Amino acid sequence: MKYNLNYYLNLNINKPLILFLHGFMGNINEFDEAIKVLTEDFSYLTLDLPGHGKTQVLGSDEYYKIQPTAQAVINLLDKLKIGKCYLIGYSMGGRLALYLTLHFPERFIKVALESASPGLATEAERLERLRRDAQIARKLSRNIIQTDFAAFLSNWYNQPIFGHIKNHPEYDRMIESRLQNNPNELDKSLRFMGTGYQPSLWEKLQENKITLLLLVGEYDKKFISINTKMAQVCKFIQLKIISNAGHNIHFENPLAFVENIKDFF
């Protein structure tokens, strides 16, 4: 076994189960606010992805990649005797969720992807993204001191995709949660699970027959464009643009996030 996965299962045999996959720098508690409402109707499974929270990667750096990580998630479902479930993934977790959907379609009923993508279509794009991710990862690996890590996080959330997230009243609380991660582990996650390392899923998306809900925030123009293209290549996709939100919809507009999830599932 190459992982010691930290997970939490809240199981009620009378309620269908949702598997939640957090984004880069998130953790097992990423969807807590949404879960408070969704537990009225659903059981749930959350976990720390490799490089995050309390999950330990016991193998080589190869095990931070999307392919073995996906297999580890399937192995966890098998261990917990979960045959089929609903699936929600945010950003990096959304890319993983899409990979799982396309490679293990028999395991999922419906899938909601929040601010996700199928990766980069060309080798040139992937190489450029690998170069950029390596630059960011080097900054992370140097930011062992918490004050430096906090500065890294502040710069990270200056990206246009995050819209007005810094104005959110709970922004400082979110940063405190992000600071619980280990920068060295995040470095490995970004290097090996980043968009540049991920195999393109664009062609395989055309073959998908699982119903997908794509959620993107109105301020996240980059992912509106990506998700619009996704909806054009697969007829089993529903696209919803959420108001008053950027990349992190479940944090900025949890009410709209939950309402769309409940309607879809």
Give yes or no for a contact between 218 and 243, defined as CB atoms under 8 angstroms apart. Answer: yes
Using the 8-state DSSP alphabet, how is residue 24 labeled? T
Confidence of residue 15 (pLDDT cuts 50, 70, 90): very high
195-232 pLDDT per residue, tens: 888 889 999 999 999 999 999 999 999 999 999 999 99
CA angle at 44 for the pair 53 and 59, rounded to the nearest 5°: 35
Mean pLDDT in residue range 6-28: 97
CA–CA dist 68, 189 (Å, integer): 13
Position 215 scores a pLDDT of 98
Residue with more model confidence, 255 or 59: 255
pLDDT of residue 64 exceeding 70: yes
Confidence of residue 139 (pLDDT cuts 50, 70, 90): low
CA–CA dist 211, 109 (Å, integer): 8
Query: Of all helices (H) and strands (E), which one includes residue 2?
Result: none
Position 121 scores a pLDDT of 80
Mean pLDDT in residue range 232-250: 97
Structurally, at CATH architecture level, domain 3-264 sits in 3-Layer(aba) Sandwich (3.40)
Give the pairing type, strands 43-47 and 17-21: parallel
Compute the half-sphere exposure of residue 74: CA atoms within 13 Å on the CB side of its CA.
18
Average pLDDT, the chain: 93
| 242 DSSP β-pair partners | 217
Burial 5-40, CB ≥16 within 10 A → b, else e: bbbeeeeeeeeebbbbbbbbbbbbebbebbbebbee
Residue ranges of the domains in the chain? Answer: 3-264
